[in-house]
Structure 1
Amino acid sequence: MAVMLTVDEIGARVLAYNREADLDLVARAYRFAEGAHRGQLRHSGEPYFSHPLAVVEILLGLELDVPTLCAALLHDTVEDTPTSLNDLRHRFGSEVASLVDGVTKVELLAEATPSEKRATNLGKIVSAMVGDIRVALIKVADRLHNMRTLAAMGAAKQARIAAETRDLYVPIAMGLGLGAIYPELAELSYQVLHREEYDEICACFDYAHERVRARGESFAGELLQRLAPRFPGARVECRPCFAHEVARIQRSLGEPIERLAHILRVTVIVEHDDDCYPVLGILHALRPPILDRFKDYIATPRSNQYRALHSRLRGARGCTIRVRILSVAMDQVARRGVTYQWAYKRGADEPPAAFARRMQWLHELQEAQKAMLTSDEFVEMARDTLASDRIHPVTPRGDVLNLPRGATLLDFACAIHTDLAYHCAGGRVDGRRVERDHVLRTGDQVEILTEAMIEPAPSWLTFVRTPHARRLLREQMRSRQRERTIAIGRDRLRAIPALAGVADGARASCPAAQAAARRLGLANVDALLARLGAGRLSMGELRAAMGEQGGEEKVGEAAAACLLLGEANTRLYHLAHCCHPLAGDDVIAFFSQRDGIIVHRRICHHAVRRAVDVDEVVPVRWQSEAALGGQVGMVVEMRNEPGALATVCSRIGEQGGNILCTRTLGVGHRFGSAHFDLEVRNLNHLVRLLDALRGETVVVSAERV
Structure 2
Amino acid sequence: MPPAPEAVDAVSVPALPLAAGVGEVLRLPPVKPALDDPCAPLRALLQQYMAPEEVARVREAYELALAAHGEQTRRSGEPYIHHPVAVACILAELQLDIFTIQAALLHDVIEDCEISKESLAERFGPEVAEMVDGVSKLGQVRFETREEAQAENFRKMFLAMSRDIRVVLIKLADRLHNMRTMGVMTQEKRRRISRETLDIYAPIAQRLGIHAIRIELEELAFSHLYPKRWHALNEAIKAARGNRKEAVQKIEQALLDRLHQEGFEAQVSGREKHVYSIYTKMQKKGMAFSAILDLHAFRVIVADVDTCYRVLGIIHSLYRPIPGRFKDYIAIPKSNGYQSLHTVLLGPFGHPVEVQIRTEDMHRVAEAGVAAHWLYKTGMNHAHAESQARAWLQRLLELQTQGGDSQEFLESVKLDLFPDEVYVFTPKGKILSLPRGATAVDFAYAVHTDIGNQAVAARVNDMYVPLRSLLSNGDKVDIVTAASAHPQPGWLDVVVTAKARSSVRAYLKTIQRGDAETLGRNLLDKALQSLGGNYQQTQPADLQRVLATFNVQDEGQLLAAIGMGEVFPLVVAHKLLPEEDDRGRLAQTARRLGQAVSQLLPSRLNREAVEKKPLLIRGTEGMPVTLARCCRPIPGDPILGFISTGKGVVVHTHDCHNIREWRKRRDRWVDVQWDPEAHGDFPVTIRVVAESARGVLARIATLISDEDSNIDHVDIEPQDGLYTGITFTILAHDRDHLAKIMRSLRSLPMVSRVQRVKS
Q: What TM-score results when the alignment is normalised by the length of structure 1?
A: 0.68
Instruction: Work out the CA distance in 2 between the residues paired with 1:632 and 1:461.
Output: 41
Structure 1, 472-481 or 304-313: larger mean CA deviation: 472-481
Match of 1:442 in 2: 473
- Aligned-residue offset at 1:476: 4.7
Q: Is 1:365 paired with 2:396?
A: yes
Matched, 1:340 2:368: no
Contact 1:176 1:304 in 2 (8 A): yes
In 2, the alpha carbon distance for the partners of 1:272 and 1:453 equals 52
Post-superposition offset of 1:448? 1.9
In structure 2, relative to structure 1, the CA distance for the partners of 1:46 and 1:437 (3 Å cut) is same
In the TM superposition, what is the alpha-carbon distance from 1:259 to its structure 2 partner?
4.1
Give the aligned CA root-mean-square deviation in angstroms. 4.3
State how far apart, in whole Å, the 1-side matches of 2:269 and 2:69 are. Answer: 41
Alpha carbons 1:410, 1:464 under 8 Å: kept: yes
1:277 corresponding residue in structure 2: 309
* Distance in 1 of aligned mates of 2:348 and 2:472: 34
Deviation by residue 1:391-413 (Cα, 9 ceiling, x = unmatched)? 22111211112222222112222
Could you tell me whether the CA contact under 8 Å between 2:219 and 2:274 is conserved in 1? Answer: yes
1:458 corresponds to which of 466, 489, 492: 489
1:607 match: none
Secondary structure of residue in 1 paired with 2:202: helix
Q: Out of 333, 344, 348, which is 1:312 matched to? A: 344
Q: Is the partner of 2:281 in helix, strand or coil?
A: helix
Superposed CA offset, 1:6-26 (max 9, x none): 656545533533458622211
- Alignment-mate amino acid for residue 228 of structure 2: E
C-alpha distance after superposition, 1:534-557 (max 9, x if no partner): xxxxxxxxxxxxxxxxxxxxxxxx
Q: Which amino acid aligns with 2:554?
A: F
Aligned partner of 2:439 in structure 1 is: 408
- 1:552 match: none
Could you say which residue in structure 1 is the equivalent of 2:554? 590
Indicate the residue corresponding to 1:168 in structure 2: 200
Change (3 A) 1:15 1:443: same
Change in Cα spacing, 1:382 to 1:418, as seen in structure 2 (3 Å) is: closer
Partner of residue 688, structure 1? none
Distance 1:313 1:666, change over 3 A: closer
Match of 1:220 among 242, 252, 266: 252
Task: Using the TM superposition, give the Cα deviation of residue 652 of structure 1 relative to its aligned residue in structure 2, in angstroms.
Answer: 9.9
The one of the two structures with greater contact order (alpha-carbon pairs below 8 A, sep at least 6) is 2
Q: Which amino acid letter does the alignment assign opposite residue 248 of structure 1?
A: T
Aligned partner of residue 356 in structure 2, secondary structure:
strand
Distance 1:247 1:375, change over 3 A: farther
| Aligned residue number for residue 69 of structure 1 | 101
Q: What letter is aligned with 2:468?
A: D
Query: Separation in 2 of the partners of 1:158 and 1:262?
Result: 31
- Partner amino acid for 2:479? I
Alpha-carbon displacement from aligned partner over 1:608-629 (angstroms, at most 9, x marks no partner): xxxxxxxxxxxxxxx9xx8367
- Which residue is equivalent to 2:711? none
**Residue of structure 2 equivalent to 1:567:** 535
- The CA distance in 2 between the partners of 1:630 and 1:17, in whole Å, is 90
Which of 240, 244, 260 matches 2:276?
Answer: 244
Q: Is the 8 A contact 2:206 2:419 kept in 1?
A: yes
Equivalent residues of 2:135, 2:167 under 8 A apart: yes
Report the counterpart of residue 577 of structure 2 in structure 1.
Answer: 627
Q: What is the identity, as a one-letter code, of the residue corresponding to 1:111?
A: E
Q: 2:298 aligns to what?
A: 266
One-letter amino acid of the counterpart of residue 112, structure 1: T
- Contact 2:94–2:375 (CA<8 Å) still a contact in 1? no
Larger CA deviation: 155-164 vs 14-23: 14-23
Question: 2:456: which partner in 1?
Answer: 425
Query: C-alpha displacement at 1:425, in angstroms?
Result: 2.3
**Quick one: structure 1 residues 170 and 627, their matched pair in 2 at CA, closer, same or farther if it must change by over 3 Å?**
same
Determine the C-alpha separation between the residues in 1 that align with 2:583 and 2:561. 22
SS of residue in 2 equivalent to 1:402 = strand
**Aligned 1:119-138 pairs, distance under 5 A:** 119-138=151-170
TM-superposed CA distance for 1:332, in Å, is 0.8
- Tell me the CA shift for residue 270 of structure 1: 1.3
Give the match for residue 24 of structure 1: 56
Are 1:153 and 2:181 an aligned pair? no
- Whether contact under 8 Å (2:449, 2:503) holds in the other structure is yes
1:285-684 matches, within 5 Å, as 285-342=317-374, 352=383, 354-372=385-403, 378-476=409-507, 481=512, 484=515, 487=518, 566-567=534-535, 579-580=548-549, 590=554, 596=560, 627=577, 660-661=596-597
Between the two proteins, the alignment pairs up a number of residues equal to: 552
In structure 1, which of residues 167, 185, 207 is the aligned counterpart of residue 239 of structure 2?
A: 207
Name the amino acid aligned to 2:65.
A
For the 8 Å contact 2:415–2:498, the answer to whether it is kept is no
Measured in 2, the distance between the counterparts of 1:397 and 1:425 equals 20
Structure 1 CA distance, aligned partners of 2:466 and 2:345?
Answer: 39
Shift of 1:579: 4.3
**Counterpart code for 2:535:** E
Match of 2:132 among 100, 118, 130: 100
Match of 2:432, SS state, is coil
Separation in 2, partners of 1:567, 1:192:
67
Match of 1:494 in 2: none
Distance 1:59 1:200, change over 3 A: same
The answer to whether 1:55 aligns with 2:23 is: no
Q: 1:421 to 1:12 in 2, by over 3 A?
A: same
Which structure 1 residue ranges, 5 or more long, are not aligned?
492-564, 582-586, 599-622, 637-647, 668-676, 682-705
Bigger-Rg structure (1/2): 1
Preserved CA contact (<8 Å) 1:580 1:631: no
